[in-house]
Structure 1
């Protein structure tokens, strides 16, 4: 009886040391892998990493590979888990709609791109399917998206002329290249000071 009791005690210690609860992270569709950063996060919680990656990749096989998906994992004491995969982040959809790679470096001081009200409405129809947003009205999700668009530096317009917008994006690309160059120079100058 004492052997069984000591084994139960040892098992209890092992299960107490494993972190349970929720894990929130973005995982690229179809690209869950055992390596960092996902592997260590799952390993700390005692989840079978290979089985989780296979499960996630199977569930996201119909989505274009590499699209970031907000993922919520609830870990149970028996090391089983519940996996909830949300729609891609609003910033992803807004950048795709505007045809840009990144948002504003100085929010409120630069226009990074333009989107129409129709874009906002269509993105809201997709995002309202996410569990946290299901309790909100379509109108409130549209207002939320307008706020996110503003922080990205996107201008919301009623209509968009493709030729004019193409020229705007070419001009914007030159600005982005200049910003990247300035950032690189700052990094190099900082490394010289600290090195």
Structure 2
């Protein structure tokens, strides 16, 4: 059996449990040598628990056209928008504040993102999330 060589590694964002091979996902996968239909089927099965939320994914493509993917948690900005109940972040965050979230909500988001952040404690992860919130024009109270 020949050894599989890594040909490509790339990141993408898709809606959990509801990804389709239509643009923009299908063409990106096809150009990287991944069968879009096969990827979508496996991705949707693996992300049923986060249906409707945007999740990150790291895809590794091998020389024999096989692939593996690792599902990451939702981006911090998406979790902050959901917690604050706003449609999007501020275009000028230092002037226009568009929403508020509590420390408890920040802690919940930090615990959810802990595996994907390079923080060693929940307090450090909370500071990272608070910084993201500030850069979006969301006030932490």
Provide the rounded CA distance (Å) in 2 between the counterparts of 1:52 and 1:70.
Answer: 14
Provide the rounded CA distance (Å) in 2 between the counterparts of 1:80 and 1:62.
Answer: 25
Report what 1:167 is aligned to: none
SS at match of 1:32: coil
Provide the rounded CA distance (Å) in 2 between the counterparts of 1:107 and 1:134.
Answer: 25
Larger fraction in helix: 1
Larger fraction in strand: 2
Query: Is residue 18–residue 51 contact of structure 2 (8 Å, CA) maintained in 1?
Result: no
Query: Is residue 20–residue 45 contact of structure 1 (8 Å, CA) maintained in 2?
Result: no
Q: Which has the higher contact order (CA 8 A, sep 6+)?
A: 2
**Cα deviations by residue, 1:99-118 (Å, 9 ceiling, x for unpaired):** 10111111200110011111
SS at match of 2:120: coil
Report the CA distance between 1:24 and its aligned residue. Answer: 0.8
- Is 1:30 the counterpart of 2:20 in the alignment? no
Report what 2:101 is aligned to: 115
Provide the rounded CA distance (Å) in 2 between the counterparts of 1:142 and 1:85.
Answer: 22
Give the structure-1-normalised TM-score: 0.66
Structure 1 runs not aligned, ≥5 long: 1-18, 158-195
Q: Structure 1 runs of 4+ off > 4 angstroms?
A: none
Report what 1:192 is aligned to: none
Report what 2:123 is aligned to: 139
Report what 1:6 is aligned to: none
**Cα deviations by residue, 1:55-97 (Å, 9 ceiling, x for unpaired):** 00111122232x1111110111111111111111101111111
Report what 1:72 is aligned to: 58
Query: Is residue 119–residue 125 contact of structure 2 (8 Å, CA) maintained in 1?
Result: no
SS at match of 1:100: coil
Report the CA distance between 1:52 and its aligned residue. Answer: 0.6
Larger Rg: 1
Report what 1:60 is aligned to: 47
How is 1:34-183 mapped onto 2 (pairs within 5 angstroms)?
34-65=21-52, 67-130=53-116, 133=117, 136-157=120-141
Query: Is residue 45–residue 79 contact of structure 1 (8 Å, CA) maintained in 2?
Result: no
**Cα deviations by residue, 1:125-173 (Å, 9 ceiling, x for unpaired):** 000022xx2653222211110110001111111xxxxxxxxxxxxxxxx
Structure 2 runs not aligned, ≥5 long: 1-5
Give the structure-2-normalised TM-score: 0.90
